[in-house]
Amino acid sequence: MEYARETGANFVTAAAFDAAKARISNPELHQSVDHQRLWADLLWSPTLAFNLFGDLAVDLALADGAVHTWWPDAPGTVSDVRFAHSPGWLDPAYTGNLISFDAAFVLDLGDGTRGILAVDTNYHEASKRELPKPERLPRYIEVMERSRVFAPRAIDAVNGTDLLVMWLEHLLVLSMLQHPSDAWSWGPYVVVHPAGNTDVADECDRYATLVVDESTFSAVTLEEFLAAGSLPKQTTAALSARYCIA
């Protein structure tokens, strides 16, 4: 652990290492961080977010170009790149839980509101059934119904299944769009995974059938991200060496 913290060996670029140090130095209220895995687990998915987007966090012009290459329909201009982020950990005005985004791009929309492009990064995760805490389920259903982006009876397809966490992360974005402040007016949820993780790919395919507004959810492979050429060549090479199987 000491070696990992000192050298940043878990991070493939200096920018990713710097982004991780900056994030840990500025915890959000009620945030919980698994320091052991962040610093010393080479294949932990939240660390992948720092590695994938670290260069963008220190160069917003590069971030804006990358976002509009990856998501051509994204409005506005990137004004911030955030990691391990929630708009309100345990805040009932959102979803009242400890769910967060691995990465999030904040966009200035030019009309006084902001957009949030929320990203969930995955690497070696396998499907696992999850149950929501019963006392929080009414709030989840409230956000889901107000959003009007889900197919009828979608709750039955996610509650107690391997799609639950994906649903909760999506709900967190939707709760931001419903917040009384009206600060957020655009916000899709995106899942990033390696092409070889068939569990996550299958989850995304099944989840997509539950979403009637396709603009709010999408999935993209890590390989597709890297092939777009939006990151510096050295970063792309380092990411490919660490995460992609030839």
pLDDT at 228: 96
Extract the tokens encoding 183.
Answer: 């600060």
**Cβ proximity of 146 and 94 under 8 Å:** no
Domains of the chain, residue spans: 2-243
85 bridge partner residues: 101
| Tens digits of residue pLDDT in 116-147 | 999 999 999 888 999 999 999 999 999 999 99
d(CA 144, CA 159): 12
Tell whether the model's pLDDT for residue 239 goes beyond 90: yes
| Tens digits of residue pLDDT in 150-170 | 999 999 999 999 999 999 999
Phi, psi (degrees; rounded to nearest 5) at 150: -110, 150
**Cβ proximity of 83 and 90 under 8 Å:** no
Average pLDDT, the chain: 96
**Cβ proximity of 117 and 190 under 8 Å:** yes
Torsion of CA 21, 52, 126, 175, to 10 degrees: 80
Q: pTM of the prediction?
A: 0.96
Average pLDDT over residues 93-100: 97
pLDDT at 218: 97
DSSP string, 182-239: --EEE--EEEEE-TT-HHHHHHHHHHHTTBS-GGGEEEEEHHHHHHTT-S-HHHHHHH
Residues in the chain: 246
**pLDDT-derived band at 245, boundaries 50, 70, 90:** confident
**Cβ proximity of 243 and 123 under 8 Å:** yes
| Tens digits of residue pLDDT in 42-89 | 999 999 999 999 999 999 999 999 999 999 999 999 999 999 999 999
Query: Which of 28-32, 147-151, 215-219, 225-229 is the least confident region?
Result: 28-32
Tell whether the model's pLDDT for residue 246 goes beyond 80: no
Tell whether the model's pLDDT for residue 32 goes beyond 90: no
Which residue bears the tokens 């993780």? 197
